[in-house]
Amino acid sequence: MLFLSRFFLSCDLQQPSISEMHSPDLLQYDKLIDKFDTLLFDCDGVLWRGNELIPGSKEFVEKVRKAGKQVIFVTNNASNSRNQYKAKFDKLGINVERDEIFGSAYASAVYLKYNLKFPADKKVFVVGMKGLEEELESEGIQYIGGTDPKYNTITPDIDFNAIKSGLDKDVGAVVAGFDVMLNYTKLSYAYSYLTSKEHDVKFILTNDDSTFPQSCGLFPGSGAMSSPLVVSSKRKPTVVGKPNAPMLECILKQKQLNPDRTLMIGDRLNTDISFGQHGNVKTLLVLSGVSTPEDIEKEGIYPDYIARSLKHIR
């Protein structure tokens, strides 16, 4: 803690003296990006909070592009598809190609198709939003649930028998992600599939982030929203998003990365920084999102670099 308090006492990322083991290497920030050919950007908490750009983020992405670097955007937020993120980037004035965007909804669809070899005649029961449905469709995977009104009724008069008798025998997986329409009916269907004695139903989470940053603060994230299924079904899901391997595998299927010349930039230690460390790339924690300096020693996760935000990297 000592070095961090000195660090912040010395204010904006000058050359503070550092003594402790494990301390992040607070190099002079000039020309940091010259060390890398590829920059992996987390989105929520790094580029934006909700729909509000974080000051300096757009300019930093432009600077990195001008320097001829490969940029890849890696988000655990499963509420949007790549198309929807492309539209968001466009609206926010950040020039991004669709194939530079890797969201946990897309990575989950890729994981089902290529890792699990999900049969074409099987269906996914979706606890999630349009973006997840779109990405399943993009990989030719059938689904039910999700935004279908039948599963989004909020009523105290639940017909439990209808749920149990109405299960679709073709469901072979439950995929749970961020879902603002989460409700007891949908959870009851998902639970019934996950605990079905008749069928082998895989359990996948797009991500398990505990919280979700908005400009006005934090809210429950996918990890919090899928915990009712984890607790009630007593099953251990496969989690696709950062820091887990399926997300990195999805990127490596399409992009060339030299780990020695790649930097992962994120705001959450236990997803973004761990993801970079698992991928043996350098990591930069920005303090514009979820994790705080105190979290570093509390979680024992030490980024290679720290910055207040992208704006502070010259």
Ligand X SMILES: C[C@H](OP(=O)(O)O)C(=O)O
Give yes or no for residue 128 binding ligand X (CB under 6 A): no
Q: 242 labelled as ligand-binding?
A: yes
- Contacts of ligand X in 261-290 (CB under 6 A): 268, 290
Q: Are strands 70-75 and 38-41 parallel, antiparallel or unpaired?
A: parallel
* 208 catalytically annotated: no
Stretch that binds ligand X, among 52-60, 73-81, 163-171, 196-204 (CB under 6 A): 73-81
Rounded distance, CA 173 to CA 58, Å?
38
Stretch that binds ligand X, among 4-12, 25-33, 40-48, 248-256 (CB under 6 A): 40-48
Task: Give min distance, CB of 112 to ligand X, in A.
Answer: 20
Q: 44 labelled as ligand-binding?
A: yes
Q: Which amino acid is at 71?
A: V
Are 106 and 239 contacting, i.e. CB atoms less than 8 angstroms apart? no
Residue of 47, 93, 55, 52 whose CA lies nearest to 74: 47
Q: Which of 4, 36, 39, 42 binds ligand X (CB under 6 A)?
A: 42
Long-range contacts of 224-231 (CB under 8 A, 24+ apart): 225/127, 225/176, 225/178, 225/179, 225/182, 226/127, 226/176, 226/177, 228/187, 229/127, 229/174, 229/176, 229/187, 229/190, 229/191, 229/194, 229/203
For Mg ion, give the closer residue by CB, 42 or 304.
42
Q: 159 labelled as ligand-binding?
A: no
Give yes or no for residue 81 binding ligand X (CB under 6 A): no
Rounded distance, CA 210 to CA 291, Å?
12
Q: Which of 33, 39, 43, 174 binds ligand X (CB under 6 A)?
A: 43
Three-state DSSP class for 126? strand
Helices (H) and strands (E) in the chain, counts: 11, 15
* 44 catalytically annotated: yes
For ligand X, give the closer residue by CB, 77 or 81.
77
- Non-local (6+) Cβ contacts of 259 within 8 A are 279, 280, 281
For ligand X, give the closer residue by CB, 24 or 131.
131
Catalytic residue among 30, 34, 42, 159: 42
Catalytic residue among 12, 30, 37, 44: 44
Q: Which residues are near Mg ion by CB under 5 A?
A: 42, 44-45, 267, 289
Residue of 293, 214, 305 whose CA lies nearest to 2: 293
Task: Give min distance, CB of 4 to Mg ion, in A.
Answer: 20
Q: Which residues are annotated as a binding site for substrate?
A: 242
The catalytic residue positions are 42, 44
Q: Which positions touch ligand X (CB under 6 A)?
A: 42-45, 75-77, 209, 212-213, 221, 268, 290
Give the residue ranges of the annotated binding site for Mg(2+).
42, 44, 267
